[in-house]
């Protein structure tokens, strides 16, 4: 059954001490908590999950340290962050993936795969191969540090890990001989990483092995979980470049996929007895909506929910709960669309302006309490007016967007299909 709204809104009802009643501050973001021994003390399956995660992190660290000790004169190259998606294009013509250029990218990808089987994010993959002793991650932006010293060593954030697997599969499909086995082996290690990272209840954290804090939360933000679910769907269907995957691995992918869909249905938020949409993050044990970064509250999230709905509409012969989830989510998007307004940059910073005929617009966050748009600032405060947050955050975050329009358009097509009725074509 979906969660009750009262359980989901508790994190938003915190009163900020010392503020007058007329303050524009309506609450405070409460970031997600890490998974610890205490939190899983009475849950044997979760205890095993946590132990496996810690063992894999220890192995990652030991591997890197051993490389440094065995190559003491090697100067480790410090990589700058870059646009990884541009260096791993997935929509080239098939023949391109047989070129030396594509093989070099694939070799770089393999070289940066962690011992646990995942990849870090925001890294160009068309540069040099990783050298012994070189870190698996690019340098992090410390202007607003919110991460640990050892961080992002394996993540699904910003399309990481799934993009690497897709790219390797494209190259391997053009290299069917023995020389392509290195790429197929890397893909299988990546899939095993995904299986290990999945929570017992079907969700995935943002970072694995677990890093702590909000990184341990079940994460829909930036398509982290949906990217994994889509990848598993492609593997299960033997789609395109994944025909080489063995039946036993495909069966494991199918089982992981079903658990994930169950998790998606359980995390759809109920408000006043009605299914709505989804939050960006959830506490992994309680499945309650939770905050992430200081300005990312526990709230309904329009863009992430639209992405979830787009995936659900791709399911062949969906069960009634999936159909109900789609109908409820689309209804919520229609009811909460903003018309004749646009969110754009001006000399006074980004503003919500009147614009007749503008594309439909949605707030990024909608309060679980009163259904109003919600805006967070770096000091953890939450506001119901975007003009009340700092100029830096107002300009530096996508508080409004039109991307949910795509889900509405796809719904019109889906509604005419047999899938909307759960029947065979």
The residues assigned a catalytic role are 158, 293
The residue with tokens 């979906």 is 2
> What is residue 279's DSSP assignment?
B
Query: Cα 258–262–266 angle (5° rounding)?
Result: 170
- Contact between 404 and 332 (Cβ < 8 Å): no
- Contact between 165 and 185 (Cβ < 8 Å): no
Residue 389 CB contacts under 8 Å (≥ 6 apart), including other chains: 295, 375, 376, 377, 381, 383
d(CA 192, CA 186): 10
Nearest CA to 400 out of 334, 352, 329 is that of 352
d(CA 112, CA 132): 10
The residue with tokens 């409460």 is 30
d(CA 243, CA 236): 9
The residue with tokens 């949409």 is 277
Per-residue CA distances from 181 to 9, 99, 133, 186, 336 (Å) = 49, 16, 25, 8, 50
Per-residue CA distances from 254 to 198, 206, 241 (Å) = 13, 21, 17
Q: Name the β-bridge partners of 363.
A: 400
Cis bond upstream, residue 209 (ω within 30): yes
d(CA 227, CA 195): 14
């Amino acid at each position: 059954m979906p969660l009750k709204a009262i359980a989901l809104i508790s994190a938003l009802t915190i009163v900020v001490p010392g503020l007058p009643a007329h303050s524009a501050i309506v609450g405070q973001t409460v970031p997600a908590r890490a998974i610890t021994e205490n939190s899983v003390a009475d849950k044997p399956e979760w205890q095993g999950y946590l132990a496996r995660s810690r063992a894999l992190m220890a192995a990652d660290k030991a591997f890197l340290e051993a490389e440094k000790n065995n190559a003491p004169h090697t100067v480790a190259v410090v990589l700058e962050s870059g646009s990884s998606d541009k260096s791993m294009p997935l929509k080239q013509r098939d023949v391109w993936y047989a070129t030396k250029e594509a093989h070099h990218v694939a070799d770089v990808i393999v070289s940066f795969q962690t011992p646990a089987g995942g990849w870090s994010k925001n890294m160009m993959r068309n540069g040099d191969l990783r050298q012994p002793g070189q870190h698996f991650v690019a340098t992090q932006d410390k202007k607003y540090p919110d991460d640990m010293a050892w961080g992002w060593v394996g993540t699904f954030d910003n399309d990481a890990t799934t993009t690497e697997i897709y790219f390797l599969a494209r190259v391997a499909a053009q290299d069917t001989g023995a020389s392509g086995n290195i790429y197929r082996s890397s893909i299988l290690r990546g899939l095993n990483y995904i299986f290990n990272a999945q929570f017992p209840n079907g969700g995935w954290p943002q970072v694995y092995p677990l890093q702590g804090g909000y990184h341990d939360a079940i994460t829909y933000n930036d398509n982290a979980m949906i990217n994994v679910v889509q990848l598993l769907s492609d593997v299960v269907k033997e789609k395109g470049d994944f025909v080489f995957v063995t039946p036993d691995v495909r069966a494991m992918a199918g089982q992981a996929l079903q658990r994930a869909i169950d998790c998606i249905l359980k995390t759809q938020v109920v408000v006043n007895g009605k299914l709505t949409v989804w939050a960006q993050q959830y506490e992994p044990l309680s499945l309650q909506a939770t905050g992430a970064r200081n300005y990312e509250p526990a709230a309904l999230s329009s863009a992430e929910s639209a992405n979830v709905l787009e995936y659900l509409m791709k399911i062949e012969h969906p069960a009634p709960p999936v159909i109900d989830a789609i109908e409820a989510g689309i209804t919520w998007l229609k009811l909460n669309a903003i018309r004749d307004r646009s969110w754009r940059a001006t000399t006074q910073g980004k503003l919500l302006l009147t614009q007749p005929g503008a594309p439909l617009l949605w707030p990024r966050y909608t309060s679980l309490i009163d259904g109003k748009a919600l805006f967070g600032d770096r000091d953890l405060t939450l506001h119901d007016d975007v003009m009340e947050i700092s100029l830096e955050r107002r300009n530096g975050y996508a508080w409004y967007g039109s991307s949910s329009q795509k889900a509405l358009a796809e719904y019109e097509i889906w509604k005419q299909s047999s899938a909307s009725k759960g029947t065979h074509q």
